[in-house]
């Protein structure tokens, strides 16, 4: 399920699961991203222009495939909520 997260703040965002996520690891290698997605963690894409889109488990792999083939530079980070939930954030740089 894809969801827009228009009200995210720098350094933190509240996901559709109502968890507040904070940046833990600012740069991940491709293998680390794939391991987190394989483990079932969601992906948040931060697109050029400031649009944020949440991708649940079934949409995480297509989001990662889009990032891997994007014309823009894409960086990935690991974000965590206080309860230990993780999310991969993909940032598209224009």
Query: Average of pLDDT values for 37-64?
Result: 91
Nearest 5°: the CA angle 62, 74, 52 is 65
Which of 19-23, 37-41, 85-89 has the lowest average pLDDT? Answer: 19-23
pLDDT category of residue 1 using cuts at 50, 70 and 90? very low
Burial of 13 (0-12, 13-18, 19+ CB in 10 A): buried
Per the structure, the complete domain to which residue 84 belongs is given by 2-93
Query: What's the pTM value of the predicted model, to 2 decimals?
Result: 0.87
For residue 33, the number of C-alpha atoms closer than 13 Å in the C-beta half-sphere is: 24
In the chain, the number of structural domains is 1
């Amino acid at each position: 399920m894809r969801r827009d997260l228009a009200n995210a703040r720098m350094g933190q965002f509240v996901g559709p699961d109502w968890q507040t996520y904070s940046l833990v690891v600012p740069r991940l290698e491709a293998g680390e991203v794939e391991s987190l997605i394989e483990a079932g963690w969601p992906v948040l894409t931060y697109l050029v222009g400031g649009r944020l889109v949440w991708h649940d488990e079934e949409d995480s792999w297509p989001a990662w495939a889009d990032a891997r083939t994007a014309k823009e530079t894409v960086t990935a980070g690991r974000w965590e909520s206080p309860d230990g939930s993780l999310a991969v954030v993909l940032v598209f740089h224009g």
